[in-house]
Amino acid sequence: MVKMIILLSIISIFAVSCSYQHRHLVGNGPQTGVTLTRKQWYALWGLVPVNDVDVEKLAGGSENYEIYTRSNAGDFFINLFTGIIGFTSRTVTVRK
Protein backbone atom coordinates (compact mmCIF):
# COMPACT_ATOMS: atom_id res chain seq x y z
CA MET A 1 0.00 0.00 0.00
CA VAL A 2 2.84 2.38 0.84
CA LYS A 3 4.49 1.65 -2.52
CA MET A 4 1.22 2.48 -4.29
CA ILE A 5 0.95 5.82 -2.46
CA ILE A 6 4.55 6.66 -3.33
CA LEU A 7 3.97 5.72 -6.97
CA LEU A 8 0.80 7.85 -7.17
CA SER A 9 2.65 10.76 -5.55
CA ILE A 10 5.47 10.52 -8.08
CA ILE A 11 3.01 10.33 -10.99
CA SER A 12 1.10 13.34 -9.63
CA ILE A 13 4.27 15.39 -9.26
CA PHE A 14 5.32 14.37 -12.77
CA ALA A 15 1.94 15.31 -14.25
CA VAL A 16 2.01 18.74 -12.66
CA SER A 17 5.65 19.60 -13.23
CA CYS A 18 6.18 18.44 -16.82
CA SER A 19 3.92 20.95 -18.49
CA TYR A 20 3.98 24.70 -18.93
CA GLN A 21 2.17 27.02 -21.28
CA HIS A 22 2.25 30.61 -22.43
CA ARG A 23 -0.61 32.22 -24.32
CA HIS A 24 -0.22 35.57 -26.07
CA LEU A 25 -3.01 37.39 -27.94
CA VAL A 26 -2.12 39.67 -30.84
CA GLY A 27 -4.74 42.20 -31.91
CA ASN A 28 -8.23 40.98 -31.05
CA GLY A 29 -7.20 37.33 -30.85
CA PRO A 30 -8.14 34.52 -33.23
CA GLN A 31 -11.00 35.19 -35.65
CA THR A 32 -11.06 32.30 -38.17
CA GLY A 33 -10.14 29.25 -36.07
CA VAL A 34 -7.34 28.14 -38.45
CA THR A 35 -4.60 26.46 -36.40
CA LEU A 36 -0.97 25.78 -37.36
CA THR A 37 1.38 23.86 -35.05
CA ARG A 38 5.17 23.50 -35.23
CA LYS A 39 7.78 21.88 -32.98
CA GLN A 40 10.60 24.16 -31.78
CA TRP A 41 13.95 22.42 -31.09
CA TYR A 42 16.87 23.66 -29.00
CA ALA A 43 20.39 22.30 -28.54
CA LEU A 44 22.68 22.55 -25.51
CA TRP A 45 19.78 22.27 -23.06
CA GLY A 46 17.84 25.19 -24.51
CA LEU A 47 20.65 27.63 -25.26
CA VAL A 48 20.84 27.34 -29.07
CA PRO A 49 17.73 27.21 -31.30
CA VAL A 50 18.01 24.47 -33.94
CA ASN A 51 15.06 25.50 -36.11
CA ASP A 52 13.21 28.77 -36.47
CA VAL A 53 9.46 28.83 -35.88
CA ASP A 54 8.44 32.21 -37.31
CA VAL A 55 5.04 33.00 -35.81
CA GLU A 56 4.53 35.98 -38.12
CA LYS A 57 4.96 33.65 -41.11
CA LEU A 58 2.57 31.14 -39.52
CA ALA A 59 0.04 33.93 -38.97
CA GLY A 60 0.23 34.71 -42.69
CA GLY A 61 -0.07 38.47 -42.38
CA SER A 62 -3.08 38.29 -40.08
CA GLU A 63 -3.33 41.10 -37.55
CA ASN A 64 -5.46 39.09 -35.10
CA TYR A 65 -4.10 35.78 -33.82
CA GLU A 66 -3.05 33.84 -30.74
CA ILE A 67 0.38 32.36 -30.01
CA TYR A 68 0.28 29.34 -27.70
CA THR A 69 3.64 27.92 -26.61
CA ARG A 70 3.71 24.83 -24.44
CA SER A 71 5.71 21.91 -23.23
CA ASN A 72 3.58 18.93 -22.31
CA ALA A 73 4.04 15.27 -21.37
CA GLY A 74 4.78 14.33 -25.00
CA ASP A 75 7.58 16.89 -25.13
CA PHE A 76 8.79 15.64 -21.76
CA PHE A 77 9.21 12.09 -23.07
CA ILE A 78 11.00 13.34 -26.18
CA ASN A 79 13.28 15.43 -23.96
CA LEU A 80 13.84 12.46 -21.67
CA PHE A 81 15.65 10.64 -24.46
CA THR A 82 17.16 13.56 -26.37
CA GLY A 83 18.01 15.56 -23.25
CA ILE A 84 20.93 13.27 -22.54
CA ILE A 85 22.73 14.84 -25.49
CA GLY A 86 21.30 18.28 -24.83
CA PHE A 87 18.28 18.64 -27.14
CA THR A 88 14.94 19.93 -25.88
CA SER A 89 11.66 20.72 -27.61
CA ARG A 90 8.46 22.69 -27.19
CA THR A 91 5.30 23.06 -29.26
CA VAL A 92 4.27 26.39 -30.80
CA THR A 93 0.68 26.81 -32.04
CA VAL A 94 -0.66 29.84 -33.91
CA ARG A 95 -4.44 30.17 -34.18
CA LYS A 96 -5.75 32.81 -36.60
Residue percentage of the chain with pLDDT more than 90: 5
pLDDT at residue 66, rounded to an integer: 92
pLDDT at residue 22, rounded to an integer: 86
33-59 confidence digits (pLDDT tens): 888 899 998 888 778 899 988 888 888
Q: Where are the domains of the chain?
A: 19-95
Question: 40-47 — which CB contacts under 8 Å span 24+ positions?
Answer: 40/69, 40/89, 40/90, 40/91, 40/92, 41/87, 41/88, 41/89, 42/87, 42/88, 42/89, 42/90, 43/86, 43/87, 44/86, 45/83, 45/86, 45/88, 46/88
Give the predicted TM-score (pTM) of the model: 0.69
